[in-house]
A = this chain, B = another copy of it.
């Protein structure tokens, strides 16, 4: 009976485990997870912190025991993988409860070690109540800190997590200051769309300072953060909680130390079957590279959608099937208070960096029939390549931005030209769209520029 060992019990790892077990129920599958939880939705954490989701348990799909019972997979939590010996086909791990070292032999291995959030290294940055939000344990700690009724929070970095946390924390009544070191929040967007997100933050009572960061944190007598010094400010900023969202990096130390090839993106290089440079060792999830379907370049994706799909493909290959992962578009969507912001493919900035000749248009149009009650507006920024006339990417903000981005994602996957995308037979009824859907309006506008 083949021994399958999986390192990491979240999106990539658990999806792979479940899929492998389903494809071949005879496999002997073990999952090692260093944290106490597996198979949960970290994306749901902001809604737990806001109070909209009652318990962290609601975010968990399976406990280790349930998963074991239902799928016949052994799930070991609080076990940290420490070193990997590909030639001996074994992995050495430590049981965090007992401190004991245990060796796990395997026939095929999957690395699904995910990503690590970057942390601040500043005077005072070890004070309590300075958080990153990357695990359910983080969410529980933040939740406990919120029970102490803090009044001010400092959000450092304008990434997706801090966008969602801003809404959660305002719902809990906190005063918020968001610092973005660069000139723009949400760097995956072109500035014109990021501006709409920033305006929504400000409209919702979040103070936003760009080109600024914190330099020092100050604590109270109990070792909890109390305030911060922000460069350029004469006074300290009150902050009983700090949320750091300044980027993430793939967690590749286990793979790198074992001599497995790390790609140019910083994530583990993989074949389309999700196999690494070491035969029999696969990688899936945010620790593994993914090919961008527009640029054809391998990228590091920190999104759960990609992690799950890679996990599924890896699981099928671990079980002996032949399955390939096609790639990603870095499609994401985020709710920023009452604004839906989404993107897929390449932004204009990214397209230029990839060597395309990008042309962009930006339109705003009602998302439903103009006369339909409470019809909101959606702004769409679309980018195409002047040479090939292909669509390269779409960004959108407003009502139904998520729908238009999904439409664009399918068009991009198929390498559609703008003139073909402009004739897509999308659905229309007054409560849902216009007879020329805003996506089509954007395509026609783009066509005039090509």
Contact = CB atoms under 8 A, between A and B. Distances in A.
Interface of A: 11, 41, 43-44, 47, 52-53, 58-59, 164, 293, 303-306, 308-309, 325-335, 340, 342, 344, 369-373, 400, 402-403, 405-407, 409-411, 413-414, 416, 420, 423-433, 435-437
Given A47-B430, A308-B435, A402-B427, 14 more contacts: A41-B371, A43-B429, A44-B372, A304-B428, A331-B426, A335-B432, A344-B425, A402-B432, A402-B433, A405-B427, A409-B424, A410-B411, A410-B424, A414-B416
A41 B369 contact: yes
18 contacts: A43-B430, A44-B369, A47-B369, A58-B371, A59-B371, A305-B427, A331-B426, A333-B427, A333-B428, A340-B431, A344-B427, A405-B427, A406-B427, A407-B410, A409-B425, A410-B410, A410-B416, A413-B420
A213 to B, nearest CB: 26
Contact of A425 (B413, B414, B423, B426): B413
A1 to B, nearest CB: 25
Contacts of A304: 428, 435
B309 A423 contact: yes
A430 B47 CA distance: 9
A117 to B, nearest CB: 18
B308 A423 contact: no
Contact of A406 (B293, B370, B426): B426
A44 B331 contact: no
Contacts of A308: 435-436
Contacts of A328: 425
A361 to B, nearest CB: 17
B427 A342 contact: yes
Nearest to A373: B52
Top-10 shortest CB links A-B: A410-B410, A333-B427, A414-B414, A329-B425, A403-B403, A58-B371, A402-B432, A335-B431, A331-B425, A331-B427
Nearest to A341: B429
Contacts of A426: 305, 331, 406, 409
Nearest to A57: B371
Contacts of A433: 333, 402
A400 B433 CA distance: 12
A421 B409 CA distance: 11
A331 to B, nearest CB: 5
A369 B43 contact: yes
A402 B402 contact: no
- Most B CB contacts (10 A, CB to CB) among A309, A330, A400, A432 go to A432
Contact of A52 (B372, B414, B436): B372
Contacts of A334: 429
Contacts of A416: 410, 414
A406 B403 CA distance: 8
B425 A41 contact: no
B47 A306 contact: no
A308 B422 CA distance: 12
A428 B47 contact: no
A435 B47 CA distance: 15
Contact of A305 (B58, B303, B327, B435): B435
Nearest to A405: B427
A342 to B, nearest CB: 5
A319 to B, nearest CB: 15
Contacts of A335: 429, 431-432
A73 to B, nearest CB: 19
A322 to B, nearest CB: 12
A432 B402 CA distance: 7
Contacts of A373: 47, 52-53
B371 A53 contact: yes
Nearest to A60: B371
Contact of A41 (B59, B340, B400, B435): B435
Nearest to A43: B430
Given A308-B436, A309-B423, A335-B429, A410 B414 contact: yes
A370 to B, nearest CB: 8
A414 B410 CA distance: 9
A340 B428 CA distance: 11
